[in-house]
Structure 1
Amino acid sequence: MLLPVMPPVAPMLAKSAKKIPAGMHYEGKWDGFRAIIYRDGDEVEIGSRNEKPMTRYFPEVVQAVREHLPPRCVVDGEIVIVTDDHLDFERLLDRIHPAKSRVDELAERTPASFVAFDLLALGDVNLMADPFEKRRAALVDAMADAGPPVHLVQATTDLTVAEQWFDQFEGAGLDGLIAKGLRDPYQPGQRTQVKIKHDRTADCVVAGFRWHKSGGVVGSLLLGLYDDEGTLHFIGVSASFPMKRRAELVEELAPFRMGDEVFTEHPWAEWARAEAHEGKRLPGGQSRWNAGKDMSWEPLRPELVVEVAYDHMQGTRLRHTAPFRRWRPDRDPRTCTYEQLEEPVSYDIASVLSL
């Protein structure tokens, strides 16, 4: 492979904003794996956000790139999987598997798509120093003959349209908008773009915690919500505390810690058995990203309620780590149910993928 932009390249990133800024280029914020595609003839490499190749995990994307992208190019975008007309991040996680046979099976069963949103190089020309509006125009021309499962991202410079998309696209599984400066060059690893995500809160039961990797202080709180039948489901974690706050949490959680009684009285007692982890994403389950990461957890009596912020749900789980807002001693844990969560209006993913 010999291209004017060679791997690895760190993707250009975005910083958070509370509102959609005016006078920019707007796109949906895709809930997938960020990927920079390098193609030189039949040679294709898929770079990731951490600059490590993901090529082996998406053989169907490699084939689609050969069919739909220019013969020599470097394209920034997102790998996504759609199930039931909705983006499905869980199916992407399944792809990070050491066995080629398993990857090939999943590629056939739940094929991935690639959504292109920037062009770093075309032919022998490095476009990274060019303003974004020029790169976008070149990308549109380069993908004029492309077809599914390779897509050109929908875009607009109309703030009113962007505001409509912000509400509509969530129903298809997107988690907000990205705003880009029209005159900005491509700056690897720099947060020069803007991301706008939905800002919501939920009251959750704290039913356990994990120790911090440094030891002796709390690493994360394990959050749960009750369903209509009274079963407490694990929905995600709250983390990212300052070290002083982590130490304070040890004392605050101490009265609620459980001992051997966990095996009979805790609502997540079955998760303490190793066989319950197989094929599931549960507290204590193996991390698919870091095989050496300690995912063990300490059970708490499910009596504490915490208010957390969240932006996006993936099925019945929080898509991202939930920032801690405050304790809610006034709330009965049994009232912490899924009913409090906002349901986005359903929106056809095909409408987002098509121009």
Structure 2
Amino acid sequence: MNLSHLPIQVPYLPMEAKSVAQIPKGAEWQYEPKWDGFRCLAFRDGDTVELQSKSGESLTRYFPELVQALTALRAKRFVLDGEIVLFIDGRLSFDDLLQRIHPAESRVRKLSVEHPVKLVLFDLLVDDKGKLVATDVFAKRRKDLEHFISRYVDSDEILFLSPATRELENAETWLETMRGQLDGVVAKRLDLPYQSGERAMLKIKDLRTADCVVGGFRYGAREKLVGSLLLGLYDEQGLLHHVGFTSSIAAAERPALTEKLEALIGKPGFTGRSPGGPSRWSTAKSADWQPLRPELVVEVRYDHFTGQRFRHGTKLMRWRPDKSPRQCLLSQLEGESASPLGLIA
């Protein structure tokens, strides 16, 4: 991979968003849909195209139709930020998108023809002259991105510009009417440069979700099949803390999942706070748990996060093979961990 003429190189971590409960107000904000797909930075330097995931891993081999579309652009050097999405019968399908992460090239090629993905573009980091623009404020980058697309993208069959609004009412309407389609709303400051690897944007979801590391599991009480997944989040010192569990695993999936988990049994498991031992509500057997190498990430839905843990059990939403475990941080929930008394102190 030769990207030597670009001012930024792979891996370059994208700017991320922190979860908040409400859409922020003010003239300094722009609002965009939060797409339900794979975050992607698209690099092009001459004949070389590289697609990079949120965690810095290569996505290039999984999406040949995107590589072809980006190679066909008349612009020879650029870096774009966007989201890979897949529509099935006019609706976004994350489950079908997951099928594209497949080891067999023949399978990837087949799916790329049957159900080609799209790349929703929402930021420009290096322009068509190979100049770094990530240091510019977002208001200028958005205008540059719009100019780039109008000049080089002839149709929206594969590449298209994400909608955006500065009207709060429009953003609220997206959040209320697009449930099950959009993953929420993202709010971006117009007066800030791109901040690689930082949670410098705000995301607002209709459902509260969190990405967690699977740091261990417990067997069920009646048979040696997985009963619950033990969830962890990293702190700023790199310690993995146990924050809760999820047991909403379909019965039909438990045998295969148990086999997958057992192959990962091993230390370190949780390096910070660990699951507790027997209590008045548990037996010694139910308190036993198996530590796992921290390789798996799941997205869970929850209702309360207090005292550095989920108050109740969480609902397993989906697996996130596109996300690095090290990106699952306690800081993504820091706003919900704070006492509300601080707001009126």
Q: Which TM-score tier does this pair reach, normalised by the shorter chain? A: 0.5 to 0.7
Amino acid at match of 2:146: V
- The reply to whether residue 326 of structure 1 matches residue 333 of structure 2 is no
Indicate the residue corresponding to 1:246 in structure 2: 275
Indicate the residue corresponding to 1:196 in structure 2: 204
The CA distance in 2 between the partners of 1:50 and 1:112, in whole Å, is 20
Indicate the residue corresponding to 1:119 in structure 2: 124
The CA distance in 1 between the partners of 2:190 and 2:243, in whole Å, is 43
The CA distance in 2 between the partners of 1:31 and 1:61, in whole Å, is 17
3-state SS in 1 of match to 2:140:
helix
Work out whether residues 209 and 219 of structure 1, in 8 Å CA contact, stay in contact via their aligned partners in 2. no
The CA distance in 1 between the partners of 2:271 and 2:279, in whole Å, is 13
- The reply to whether residue 20 of structure 1 matches residue 41 of structure 2 is no
Quote how far apart the aligned CAs of 1:99 are: 1.5
- Taking structure 1 as reference, are residues 192 and 211 closer, same or farther at Cα in structure 2, changes over 3 Å only? closer
- Taking structure 1 as reference, are residues 219 and 324 closer, same or farther at Cα in structure 2, changes over 3 Å only? closer
- The reply to whether residue 104 of structure 1 matches residue 109 of structure 2 is yes
- Taking structure 1 as reference, are residues 72 and 212 closer, same or farther at Cα in structure 2, changes over 3 Å only? closer
Counterpart mapping for 1:176-195 below 5 A? 176-195=184-203
1:261-281 deviation digits (Å, cap 9, x = unpaired): xxxxxxxxxxxxxxxxxxxxx
- Taking structure 1 as reference, are residues 140 and 118 closer, same or farther at Cα in structure 2, changes over 3 Å only? same
Amino acid at match of 2:124: L
Which residue, out of 145, 149, 155, partners 2:164? 155
1:148-177 deviation digits (Å, cap 9, x = unpaired): 2101000011111111111223242x1101
- Taking structure 1 as reference, are residues 6 and 233 closer, same or farther at Cα in structure 2, changes over 3 Å only? closer
3-state SS in 2 of match to 1:163:
helix
3-state SS in 2 of match to 1:183:
coil
Amino acid at match of 1:138: D
Work out whether residues 85 and 120 of structure 2, in 8 Å CA contact, stay in contact via their aligned partners in 1. yes
The CA distance in 2 between the partners of 1:170 and 1:249, in whole Å, is 41
3-state SS in 2 of match to 1:92:
helix
Work out whether residues 179 and 194 of structure 1, in 8 Å CA contact, stay in contact via their aligned partners in 2. yes
- Taking structure 1 as reference, are residues 233 and 132 closer, same or farther at Cα in structure 2, changes over 3 Å only? same
- The reply to whether residue 139 of structure 1 matches residue 145 of structure 2 is yes
Unaligned runs of 5+ in 1: 226-230, 258-289, 296-306, 311-322, 328-335, 337-355
The CA distance in 1 between the partners of 2:86 and 2:278, in whole Å, is 38
- The reply to whether residue 3 of structure 1 matches residue 1 of structure 2 is no
- The reply to whether residue 167 of structure 1 matches residue 176 of structure 2 is yes
The CA distance in 2 between the partners of 1:253 and 1:40, in whole Å, is 59
3-state SS in 2 of match to 1:15:
strand
The CA distance in 2 between the partners of 1:69 and 1:256, in whole Å, is 64
Indicate the residue corresponding to 2:87 in structure 1: 82
Unaligned runs of 5+ in 2: 210-218, 221-226, 233-238, 258-269, 287-292, 316-345
Quote how far apart the aligned CAs of 1:243 are: 6.2
The CA distance in 2 between the partners of 1:29 and 1:51, in whole Å, is 20
1:163-221 deviation digits (Å, cap 9, x = unpaired): 1111223242x1101100001101100111101111369xxxx972146799xx99733
Amino acid at match of 2:34: K
The CA distance in 2 between the partners of 1:141 and 1:103, in whole Å, is 32
The CA distance in 2 between the partners of 1:136 and 1:102, in whole Å, is 36
Indicate the residue corresponding to 1:62 in structure 2: 67
- Counting matched residue pairs gives 261
The CA distance in 1 between the partners of 2:279 and 2:68, in whole Å, is 51
1:15-67 deviation digits (Å, cap 9, x = unpaired): 11110001201001111111000112332100111112110111011111123
- Taking structure 1 as reference, are residues 210 and 181 closer, same or farther at Cα in structure 2, changes over 3 Å only? closer
- Taking structure 1 as reference, are residues 92 and 69 closer, same or farther at Cα in structure 2, changes over 3 Å only? farther
Work out whether residues 120 and 159 of structure 2, in 8 Å CA contact, stay in contact via their aligned partners in 1. yes
